């Protein structure tokens, strides 16, 4: 592996441990001691994944995550001493790919980072999915809707993109919330309302681009794309 891991952590000892374990597994690493430095390194080095502590100087983990999500779709794992559902829910709602609580086993952190990177590598499953008036480009992470002959781009977070791509691979199939968590957010301890929140935002974005009715919720069952295969 040659993936670059950006470790945003103000505790030098914890950062050193993570760097050692990721290096042992063949990753390249770079360390930022505060959120602003992490943001600068993200812009210049374009890491493959970011591990972000929540309580950092200058910019905290939430601010770092929000800005990374605004820039694109770099996977982000939040690492924190906070262990409340509301904190986990907040991180996942604004685009975090996983959430790890201190103290942690560094071997597990590496394993979960690998899992996030595998999920982000959707291009291995096929370059483009076309279903109904929807086109999903798995290489460029772009989603477009044909709205009366005009291709309208739909801006999605990485989590929203993964959910849509998973639904689109089997059009009209109804997926339970548990199935969507397993496929798109494994290891995250995501709650039902987390999936509901992601899909609610996804539905609004699709509708704004001209995809009214594309995403359907089946009461008591789950979600599906309301299109013919």
CA-CA-CA-CA torsion sign (212, 214, 218, 219): negative
Residues 142 and 104 in one domain: no
Residues 146 and 179 in one domain: yes
Given 61, 85, 120, the domain boundary residue is 120
Give SS3 for 215: strand
What confidence tens digit (pLDDT) does each residue in 120-178 have?
A: 764 344 468 888 889 998 777 889 999 888 899 999 988 898 899 889 888 878 989 88
Q: If pLDDT is split at 50, 70 and 90, which confidence band does 84 have? A: low
CATH number for the domain spanning 141: value is 1.10.10.10
Given 120, 146, 165, the domain boundary residue is 120
Residues 158 and 212 in one domain: yes
Q: If pLDDT is split at 50, 70 and 90, which confidence band does 20 have? A: very high
More confident residue, 181 or 75: 75
> Taking the model in full, what pTM does it have?
0.56
Instruction: Give, in order, the Cα–Cα distances in Å from 165 to each of 64, 80, 169, 183.
Output: 26, 30, 6, 11
CATH number for the domain spanning 83: value is 3.40.50.2300
Please check whether residue 133 is in contact with residue 226, taking contact to mean a CB–CB distance below 8 angstroms. Answer: no
Residues 10 and 109 in one domain: yes
What confidence tens digit (pLDDT) does each residue in 46-58 have?
A: 899 999 999 899 9
Q: What is the reported pLDDT for 172?
A: 76
Residue 1: name the closest of 34, 53, 69, 48 by CA: 48
Domain that holds residue 86: 4-120
Residues of the chain with pLDDT > 90: what percent?
A: 38
Please check whether residue 224 is in contact with residue 167, taking contact to mean a CB–CB distance below 8 angstroms. Answer: yes
Residues 152 and 49 in one domain: no
Total domains, the chain: 2
Given 120, 152, 173, the domain boundary residue is 120
Q: If pLDDT is split at 50, 70 and 90, which confidence band does 94 have? A: low
Residues 79 and 108 in one domain: yes
Q: What is the reported pLDDT for 124?
A: 42
Query: CA torsion, points 67, 73, 79, 80, in degrees to nearest 10?
Result: 40
What confidence tens digit (pLDDT) does each residue in 180-206 have?
A: 877 777 555 556 678 888 999 999 999
Residues 158 and 110 in one domain: no
């Amino acid at each position: 592996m040659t993936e670059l891991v950006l470790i945003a952590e103000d505790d030098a000892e914890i950062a050193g441990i993570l760097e050692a374990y990721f290096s042992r597994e063949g990753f390249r690493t770079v360390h930022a001691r505060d959120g602003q430095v992490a943001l600068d390194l993200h812009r210049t080095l374009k890491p493959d994944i970011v591990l972000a502590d929540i309580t950092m100087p200058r910019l905290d983990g939430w601010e770092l995550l929000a800005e990374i999500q605004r820039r694109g779709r770099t996977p982000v794992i939040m690492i924190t001493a906070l262990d409340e559902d509301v904190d986990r829910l907040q991180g996942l709602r604004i685009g975090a790919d996983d959430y790890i609580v201190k103290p942690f086993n560094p071997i597990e952190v590496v394993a979960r980072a690998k899992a996030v990177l595998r999920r982000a590598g959707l291009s291995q499953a096929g370059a483009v999915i076309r279903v109904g008036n929807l086109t999903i480009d798995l290489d460029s992470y772009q989603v477009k809707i044909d709205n009366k002959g005009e291709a309208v781009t739909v801006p999605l977070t990485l989590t929203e993109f993964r959910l849509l791509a998973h639904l689109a691979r089997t059009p009209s199939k109804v997926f339970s919330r548990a199935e969507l968590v397993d496929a798109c957010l494994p290891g995250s301890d995501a709650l039902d309302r987390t999936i509901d929140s992601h899909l609610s935002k996804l539905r609004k974005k699709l509708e704004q681009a001209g995809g009214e009715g594309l995403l359907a919720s089946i009461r008591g069952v789950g979600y599906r794309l309301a299109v013919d295969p």
